């Protein structure tokens, strides 16, 4: 029942993209969301799509994996595209029915939005498919370091995140055990209407929460016993070394972005 829930969707591998520092991948993925707005003409969309496809191919993971990543968002994409098509009303009219009209500008805008959306999803899927959740948490901690100066407890947040990630499988196991225990006592989880099904889960959630709190208390003791005290600086066992590949990847992205800006300048 619970093993269907994929966590993080990380697929281990040895491709160039897998081996990149999580910080590079995180920076590029976030920057891409903004940079993509420089694309306004067909040549620039072509250029952005080529870049994205190249990155996707370099991960060495089949296209099918990516399609699975897109599927949950497809309705959102279609909805946004439909809104653009229906509500951009400038340009030559192609079709009209009452106050509804589809115009050339609307269709062009709609397709543009669809492509942008698709590319952003593909790039962020690359990030989550090729980066272990823990490395991603470390990367976030390092990129958020500057916030320490304004009093954000970055190290504590990162430790919380890594402990949360570490306990996901433990809690899923426990949930499964509780479900089985309830089933053995005659509870039926997959029958009845939605309300009944939701209700059947209440006796699963309560013991799960109580146990989670118990675990947290014991974990707190274990952490203190090993000398943890939130108020002092800690050294890090896990270290990430910025390599030549990482610099090359970042430079490639900067070149890509400059080219995109140049295309905008030429084609408007």
Which residue stretch of 77-85, 94-102, 145-153, 161-169 sits at the interface with other proteins (rule: CB under 8 A)? 161-169
Compare residues 97 and 237 and give the one whose CB is closer to other proteins: 237
Asked if 166 touches other proteins (CB under 8 A), the answer is yes
Asked if 157 touches other proteins (CB under 8 A), the answer is no
Asked if 156 touches other proteins (CB under 8 A), the answer is no
Residues 48, 161: contact at Cβ < 8 Å? no
Residue of 34, 75, 97, 237 interacting with other proteins (CB under 8 A):
237
Asked if 192 touches other proteins (CB under 8 A), the answer is no
Q: How far is the CB of 20 from other proteins (least distance, A)?
A: 19
Q: Which two tokens stand for residue 115?
A: 């492509």
Compare residues 195 and 232 and give the one whose CB is closer to other proteins: 232
Which residue stretch of 65-73, 182-190, 232-240, 254-262 sits at the interface with other proteins (rule: CB under 8 A)? 232-240
Tell which positions 120-149 bind other proteins, by CB under 8 A.
134
Residue entry with tokens 């146990």: 211
Q: How far is the CB of 266 from other proteins (least distance, A)?
A: 48
Q: How far is the CB of 178 from other proteins (least distance, A)?
A: 15
Residue of 75, 225, 241, 265 interacting with other proteins (CB under 8 A):
225
Which residue stretch of 58-66, 104-112, 141-149, 157-165 sits at the interface with other proteins (rule: CB under 8 A)? 157-165
What residues are paired with 100 via a beta bridge? 97
* Chain residues in the site for other proteins (CB under 8 A): 134, 162-163, 165-166, 169-170, 173, 214-215, 218-219, 221-229, 232-239
């Amino acid at each position: 029942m619970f093993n269907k829930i994929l966590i993080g969707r990380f697929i281990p591998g040895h491709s160039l993209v897998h081996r990149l520092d999580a910080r590079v991948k995180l920076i590029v993925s976030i920057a891409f969301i903004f940079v993509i707005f420089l694309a306004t003409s067909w040549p620039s969309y072509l250029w952005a799509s080529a870049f994205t496809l190249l990155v996707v191919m370099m991960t060495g993971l089949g296209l099918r994996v990516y399609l699975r990543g897109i599927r949950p968002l497809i309705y959102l994409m279609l909805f946004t595209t439909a809104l653009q098509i229906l509500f951009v009303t400038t340009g030559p009219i192609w079709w009209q029915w009452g106050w509804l009209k589809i115009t050339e500008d609307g269709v062009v805008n709609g397709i543009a939005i669809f492509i942008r959306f698709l590319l952003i999803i593909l790039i962020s899927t690359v990030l989550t498919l090729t980066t272990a959740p823990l490395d991603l948490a470390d990367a976030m901690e390092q990129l958020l370091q500057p916030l320490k100066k304004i009093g954000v407890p970055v190290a504590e947040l990162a430790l919380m995140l890594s402990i949360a990630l570490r306990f996901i499988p433990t809690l899923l196991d426990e949930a499964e055990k509780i479900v089985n225990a309830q089933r053995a006592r005659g509870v039926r989880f997959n029958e009845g209407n939605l309300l009944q099904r939701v209700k059947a889960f209440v006796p699963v959630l309560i013991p799960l929460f109580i146990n989670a709190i118990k675990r947290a208390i014991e974990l707190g003791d274990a952490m203190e016993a090993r000398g943890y005290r939130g108020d002092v600086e800690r050294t890090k066992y896990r270290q990430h070394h910025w390599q030549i590949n990482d610099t090359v990847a970042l430079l490639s992205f900067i070149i890509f972005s400059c080219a995109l800006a140049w295309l905008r300048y030429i084609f408007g």
